[in-house]
Structure 1
Amino acid sequence: MSTPRNGDGFDDRPEDQRGWTEPTHLGGPGHQGPGFGHQGPGEGSSAGQQGEDAGRGWEPPGWSLPDAAPDRPAQQGPAQQDPAGRRPEPEWEATPPPQQPWDAPAERQPWDPPAEQAPQKEPQEERRGGLLGGLFGGGRARAPREPGAVEQVFTPKGGPVGPGDLAAWGQAFGWTASDGTGPQDAPLVELTRSAPVRPAKSEVPSNVLRGRADGLDLVAFDIVSPYGRGWVATHAVNAAPVLGSVPAFRLSPARLWRHGTGGMLQIPSGDPEFDTRWVMLAAEDGPQVRRLVEDPVVRQLLLGSDDGDELWSAVGFVAAVRPGGNRPQLVEHHARILAAVVAAVA
């Protein structure tokens, strides 16, 4: 098979004109240029554009990249307007800040070093515990708590009263003191064991005072518990000996828990207000118990208190107990209540 390249006579052109030529679609003879199939110069294309396309040759659509120059509209002058009739936005120009008049610096004054101040020491009572104290409730001391109305009544005006101060108060009124270990103090041990507060076996009576108040013979003492190398008062007891037999009873505030009340009967007073705040328990119902719970003076004194006392009878005594150590105001408070109770059951 012969082709135009092998010169087998199919080509009638002279030899110097023979050779391979580009195909028509690649720009060879008969190629109509990039404008093939497009409109002519009179149909929307310019002659210069056709000449530029003819010199560049045919390219597939999208072959050449667009011009790198950004397609931005030409900047218009301040008097020009766009075809839509809108005024161009004015160019922003920075306005320089107004210049302030310069003032010469004032003449420096000679510098004096500040006077040395002595470091203020922290009060000793506010530095407590360190790290462990801060973790376990120590650290800085808290502000003292204001005592309540009841505490102000029963706390002496001169401050808290200790056993020595209570003994001095009793001696001023002719009372006698003992340490609770003498023969005459033996009944107090059994009275302590029968108290409604259920003291431990290691707790014993101490700081005993004997005297008279409100026409009664009274015994005032503390129930103390061993603490370290000493003793601490847990409850204050004031008792009055009673001649004759007194039924076992317990008169307690309704808000307090009552221990060892098995077999005891609750005796109503007939006063709803009193029965709401106080509970009367007795081993058996009888006229003495009824007189005690229905006595108007007893009910008036108990309703006027803070419901912090407990009354009971044992080993020939009628006694009253309250948490904490004994003090003169508490002795006088219990003396008034015991005088009314003894008068009701005697």
Structure 2
Amino acid sequence: MSSPHSHDDDDQRPRDEEPGGRQEPVHLGKGDRGPASGDGGSGPGTWQPPGWDLPPAEPERRPEEPPPAAPPGPTPAWGGRPRTPSVAEQVFRYQGDTVGAQSWALQHGWTVSDGTAPEDAVLAELVASAPVRTAREHRAAGVMRGRAGALDLVAFDVVFVDRRRTVPQWAVTAAPVLLPLPGLRLSPARFWRHRTGGLVPVPSGDEVFDARWVLLAAEEGEAVRRLVADQAVRGLLMGTDDGDEFWTAAGHLAAVRPDGHRPELLEHHARLLTAMVAALAGAA
């Protein structure tokens, strides 16, 4: 008597062949079946499901980068050596310190305003008459008023104002003088002089001084001659870097420098103006 399995035992067909000519897919065939558990087979032909072959579980470390190199130095001009700044660039580099100047002024009992106070109206005339190239966009700003010794002073920056920016360009310090002042201009000889119409040179008689400083005046009166001949005035001027110009306008004797105000410049202008006002007063 045959059992249900007897037919299978007599069937000599390969197990992978199905009745009707059907066959198992190749990847399920005998030759392609993976090893049984415990075989440990891992040859190159071993089949694995997609995504099974994962990278090793080690953190990916970026290669160490070399430390940043030092910033390159200035590129030398043709000839191999860096260009040396000119005398004008060294003397007239901007060194303004508005906050420091106003702090100095407040510590010395001066007052500070923005240039729009009623007493600041006269400053517009000083700006317009200054021996520098100004335009209608220039105005006084950062105004400081106070005393330096026996002299009343007003100091401010001449700034260029447009819709986008405010740029300080010159520092002015002026002393109001009650005496009638002659129209005059005292400038370093190396400066290009502006607005000198009607002014004539007044030599001091000292060739060394006249080689560095030029005095122009509307008339060669006693006050002008005393000013340029005063030993204190000439000594102070000869000890400077020839970076300031002086002029008279609106009842003031004023000094201007292409820079912004700072405490050292305030004190520098105060010394020069004190000596000049004393020389003019001695001529009265």
What SS does the aligned partner of 1:284 have? coil
Larger Rg: 1
Which deviates further from its counterpart, 163-172 or 302-311?
163-172
Contact 2:157–2:260 (CA under 8 A) maintained in structure 1: yes
- Which letter maps to 2:111? T
Q: 2:129 aligns to what?
A: 194
- Which letter maps to 1:274? F
Of residues 99, 105, 117, the one that matches 2:64 is 117
What SS does the aligned partner of 2:236 have? helix
Q: 1:315 aligns to what?
A: 250
Structure 1 unaligned runs (5+)?
1-114, 128-133, 135-142
CA offset at residue 263 of structure 1? 1.8
CA offset at residue 264 of structure 1? 1.0
Q: 1:286 aligns to what?
A: 221
Of residues 235, 259, 266, the one that matches 1:324 is 259
Matches of residues 182-261 of structure 1 in structure 2 within 5 Å? Answer: 182-226=117-161, 229-261=164-196
- Which letter maps to 2:280? V
Contact 2:154–2:175 (CA under 8 A) maintained in structure 1: yes
- Match status 1:175 vs 2:110: yes
Q: 1:19 aligns to what?
A: none
Contact 2:100–2:263 (CA under 8 A) maintained in structure 1: no
Contact 1:214–1:336 (CA under 8 A) maintained in structure 2: no
- Once the two structures are superposed, residues 282-324 of structure 1 have per-residue CA deviations (whole angstroms, 9 ceiling, x without a partner) of 0011111111011111111111111111000111100000001
CA offset at residue 208 of structure 1? 0.5
Looking at structure 1, the residues matched to 69 and 119 of structure 2 have their Cα atoms a distance apart, in angstroms, of: 53
Contact 1:196–1:310 (CA under 8 A) maintained in structure 2: yes
What SS does the aligned partner of 1:270 have? coil
Task: Output the TM-score relative to the length of structure 2.
Answer: 0.67
Looking at structure 2, the residues matched to 235 and 313 of structure 1 have their Cα atoms a distance apart, in angstroms, of: 17
Contact 1:236–1:321 (CA under 8 A) maintained in structure 2: yes
Structure 2 unaligned runs (5+)?
1-61, 76-81
- Which letter maps to 1:311? F
Q: 1:39 aligns to what?
A: none
Contact 2:139–2:161 (CA under 8 A) maintained in structure 1: no
Contact 2:187–2:213 (CA under 8 A) maintained in structure 1: yes
CA offset at residue 122 of structure 1? 7.2
Task: Output the TM-score relative to the length of structure 1.
Answer: 0.56
Matches of residues 1-346 of structure 1 in structure 2 within 5 Å? Answer: 116-118=63-65, 120=67, 162-226=97-161, 229-346=164-281
Question: Cα–Cα, structure 1 residues 185 and 277, in superposed 2: closer, same or farther, change >3 Å?
Answer: same
- Percentage identity across aligned positions? 52
- Which letter maps to 2:230? D
CA offset at residue 118 of structure 1? 3.8
Question: Cα–Cα, structure 1 residues 162 and 116, in superposed 2: closer, same or farther, change >3 Å?
Answer: same
Which deviates further from its counterpart, 168-177 or 234-243?
168-177
Looking at structure 2, the residues matched to 205 and 325 of structure 1 have their Cα atoms a distance apart, in angstroms, of: 12
CA offset at residue 259 of structure 1? 1.2
CA RMSD of aligned residues (A): 2.9
Name the structure, 1 or 2, with higher relative contact order (CA <8 Å, separation 6+): 2
